[in-house]
């Protein structure tokens, strides 16, 4: 059953209640409707928000949906998908500590990339761009891969670090299979990335593979990179 906003008294509509009572007074469905702004013919933004939450089984699963996947949903499209992805990303950024994280070990890398890799159904490569003291300055998603394997673009990874004026960096990606054991392509990509980092004067700190709540570091052969 649809719930057109016109049938709701003006003072009880999500926007008005947010302004009057604060965001805490709104449900997930109402907050999502404010991001969507509009529904589709015959379906209000509230009902569209409710159907999305029902289809994905809740907000956590919806928050990690891919933009192209959302854009294909009836009543969503590219603009609303982009707004949803942006809203979820802003929430993640706001939830991070304002204190700079220092990478001292592979465990620090795994802890820092957890929010970016949790629950993903496809592999994703993430770069932690650091300053000269190994303080994380920026987290960059370099690429999303196929369901069963990630692209490991060495050039794009190094460009991401240089573009953000990094001096050191760590890389992480996830294994949706649930097994964090490094594959041969993982080890080969690590070796190539280490060689490329040396050529451009960057410190390659770690490469970590995350699978659910487990993780493993990929050994970097013959590494003389200072830590």
- pLDDT digits 0-9 by tens, 47-105: 999 999 999 888 888 988 888 889 998 899 999 999 999 998 888 777 665 567 899 99
C-alpha count within 13 angstroms, C-beta hemisphere, residue 139: 22
Residue 5's pLDDT is 58
DSSP state of 202: -
Q: How far apart are CA 38 and CA 53, in angstroms?
A: 16
Q: What is the mean pLDDT of residues 2-20?
A: 72
Q: Which residue has the higher pLDDT, 196 or 97?
A: 196
Q: What is the mean pLDDT of residues 115-127?
A: 86
Position 204 pLDDT exceeds 90: yes
Q: Which stretch of DSSP H or E encloses residue 175?
A: none
Residue 223's pLDDT is 52
Summary mean pLDDT of the chain: 85
Q: What is the mean pLDDT of residues 114-131?
A: 88
Residue 172's pLDDT is 95
- Cβ atoms of 175 and 131 within 8 Å: the answer is no
Say which residues have a Cβ less than 8 Å from residue 95's Cβ, sequence separation at least 6: 115
Residue 106's pLDDT is 94
Question: Strand ranges (DSSP E) for the chain?
Answer: 124-130, 136-144, 168-174, 203-211, 214-217
Q: What is the mean pLDDT of residues 128-149?
A: 82
Q: Which residue, among 199, 191, 147, 200, has the nearest Cα to 171 in the 3D structure?
A: 191
Q: How far apart are CA 129 and CA 12, in angstroms?
A: 45
Q: What is the dihedral of CA 149, 93, 159, 117, to 10 degrees?
A: -10
Q: Which two tokens stand for residue 163?
A: 């573009």
For the chain, the straight-line distance linking the first and the last C-alpha, in angstroms and rounded, comes to: 60
Position 147 pLDDT exceeds 70: no
Residue 191's pLDDT is 93
Give the pLDDT band (50/70/90) at residue 227.
very low
**Is residue 221 classed as helix, strand or coil in its secondary structure?**
coil
Residue 224's pLDDT is 46
* Residue in the block written with tokens 């891969």: 145
What are the chain's domains? 5-95 (1.10.150), 106-217 (3.40.140.10)
Position 207 pLDDT exceeds 90: yes
């Amino acid at each position: 059953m649809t719930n057109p906003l016109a049938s709701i008294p003006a003072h009880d509509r999500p926007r008005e209640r947010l302004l009057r009572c604060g965001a805490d007074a709104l449900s997930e469905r109402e907050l999502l409707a404010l991001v969507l702004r509009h529904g589709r013919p015959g379906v209000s933004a509230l009902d569209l928000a409710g159907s999305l939450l029902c289809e994905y089984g809740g907000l956590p699963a919806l928050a990690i949906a891919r933009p192209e996947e959302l854009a294909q949903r009836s009543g969503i499209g590219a603009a609303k998908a982009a707004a949803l992805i942006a809203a979820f990303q802003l929430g993640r950024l706001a939830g991070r500590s304002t204190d700079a994280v220092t990478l001292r070990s592979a465990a620090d890398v795994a802890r820092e990339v957890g929010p970016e890799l949790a629950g993903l159904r496809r592999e994703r490569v993430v770069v932690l761009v650091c300053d000269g003291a190994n303080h994380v300055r920026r987290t960059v998603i370099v690429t999303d891969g196929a369901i069963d394997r990630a692209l490991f673009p060495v050039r794009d990874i190094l460009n991401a670090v240089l573009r953000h004026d990094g001096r050191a960096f760590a890389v992480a990606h996830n294994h949706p299979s649930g097994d964090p054991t490094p594959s041969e392509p993982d080890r080969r990509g690590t070796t190539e990335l280490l060689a490329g980092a040396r050529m451009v004067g960057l410190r390659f700190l770690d490469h970590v593979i995350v699978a659910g709540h487990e993780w493993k570091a990929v050994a970097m052969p013959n590494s003389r990179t200072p830590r």
